[in-house]
Amino acid sequence: MRKTLLSLLMILLAASLFAQQEGAKFRKIDSLLTYLYNNNKFMGSVAVSEKGRVVFEKAYGYAEIESKMQANPKTKYKIGSITKMFTSVIIFQLIEEKKLTLNTKLSEYFPKIKNADKITISDLLNHKSGLYNYTASPDFEGYRTKIQNRRDMLGRIESYPAAFAPGEKAEYSNTNYLLLGYIIQDITKKPYKESVANRIANKAGLKSTYYFSKINPKKNEAASYAYNNSKWIRSEEWNESVAGGAGAIQSTPADLTRFAKALFDGRLIKKESLTLMTTMDMGFGKGIFTYPFIERKFFGHNGGIESFESVLGYYPKDDFGFAITLNGSDYNMDELVQGVLSCYYKLPYIFPNFKSAKIGEDVLKRYEGIYTNPALPFKVDIKLVNGVLIAHATDQGSFPLNPLSETEFNFDPAGITITFNTKGFTLKQADGTTSQFTKE
């Protein structure tokens, strides 16, 4: 009895320790995101899921600054081009229903478009059509906030010259997915938004994912903001008619991870269709991208519309998904993703440094010279170049020193801090080790 009790206690203790360790990575993710938010680097929401269960979700900042409406995990954000994953899934559903094929020509629907008799559904999905990207046109800014009927949008697309011959290469174009959205409407005889609702959202249990219209704060829908002159400035809203199947969906991070889970579980399209969708050709899948992280390969998509930014990633081997939706950003999204994933996988990660002191060149000039440590086989040469201290270690690369004060400097990417004194400097590394260098 006593032995059984002892074994039970050991199991409970091990479980508790594991839970604490698992919780630590989510606390670090939260600490990173809080740190970035407090430094005005982003506003938005993040979700992480494991085996279909959301294990972390939190929103940072405001859904609407003007009314001081705080964002929460249920706040909806426009997801831009992640919409293309939804459009691709519906196209594959229609292929499975024998209503079109990957080899169906665009000319069956829009014969007036350049090279329509040579462009296939597969080309549209893979961005190999050669169709000019309508959002890159100089006139796009003039109509993007106004409602556009399909006839006008098609008229513009028909007038554009081909960017390249179909199949010659792959080049990202929103035109491909705007047309695929129209094709979905023609085949189903229903608005695109109904196909999203009935064919994906309802099947995958997405309660906060739908075609957007004018932002309504009462529905917990976020507005987007650009950071300018130390202030968040509200961005103009695009009309949903200019985005369509290329970018007109809004959602939450948790819903996006559920969408990815349903897709890879085979609840939306068959395994054979998923294989075709996720096969890379000239760097593109069919409505999906891959993201490398260490030895892992995530499937997903990124998006941007107005000042919204978003990314969705799913790693099938771990059955792990993450999604980030931002309604304001003054930070590189790739860096944000790297930070979140590094924290999740418990890899060494140093928070970025956003502090820099203004130091006069007369002070910086004092630190020029050669520094040595008798226990180390290299010297450090420090020079002032264009107002910046540059450190160069023998047989190693050079790197700039960011001033934190008159005596303390760092190089954040490597986790190095240098503190100067009257005789030389102390070098501190990310693992806590320190080395003393003396000026020659």
* Statement to judge: residues 335 and 374 lie in one domain: no
If DSSP codes are grouped into helix, strand and coil, which group holds residue 160? coil
Q: Does some domain include residue 39?
A: no
Q: Quote the pTM value.
A: 0.82
* Statement to judge: residues 293 and 388 lie in one domain: no
* Statement to judge: residues 365 and 266 lie in one domain: no
Residues of the domain holding 59? 46-344
Query: What's the chain's average pLDDT?
Result: 93
Question: What is the total count of domains within the chain?
Answer: 2
* Statement to judge: residues 333 and 365 lie in one domain: no
Total residue length of the chain: 440
Which CATH number covers residue 433? Answer: 2.40.128.50
Q: Does some domain include residue 382?
A: yes
Amino acid (one-letter) located at 320: F
Q: Per residue in 84-129, pLDDT tens? A: 999 999 999 999 999 999 999 999 999 999 999 999 999 999 999 9
Which contacts qualify for 119-125: CB closer than 8 Å, 24 or more apart?
119/166, 120/166, 121/91, 121/95, 121/180, 121/183, 122/286, 123/166, 123/167, 123/176, 124/176, 124/177, 124/179, 124/180, 125/88, 125/91, 125/176, 125/180, 125/286, 125/287
Q: What is the DSSP string of 193-231?
A: HHHHIIIIIHHHT-TT-EE--S--GGGTBPP-EEEETTE
For 226, residues 6+ apart whose C-beta sits below 8 A from its C-beta are: 232, 233, 235, 307, 328
Q: Does some domain include residue 7?
A: no
Q: How far apart are the C-alpha atoms of 342 and 415, rounded to whole Å? A: 15
Question: Residue 19 pLDDT > 90, yes or no?
Answer: no
For 387, residues 6+ apart whose C-beta sits below 8 A from its C-beta are: 361, 364
* Statement to judge: residues 110 and 210 lie in one domain: yes
Question: Residue 395 pLDDT > 90, yes or no?
Answer: no
Q: Does some domain include residue 36?
A: no
The predicted pLDDT at position 16 comes to 41
Q: What is the mean pLDDT of residues 184-210?
A: 98
Q: What is the mean pLDDT of residues 375-385?
A: 91
Question: Residue 12 pLDDT > 90, yes or no?
Answer: no
* Statement to judge: residues 149 and 118 lie in one domain: yes
Q: How far apart are the C-alpha atoms of 288 and 410, rounded to whole Å? A: 39
Q: Does some domain include residue 9?
A: no
Which CATH number covers residue 116? Answer: 3.40.710.10
Structure tokens at 354: 């956003």
Q: Does some domain include residue 219?
A: yes
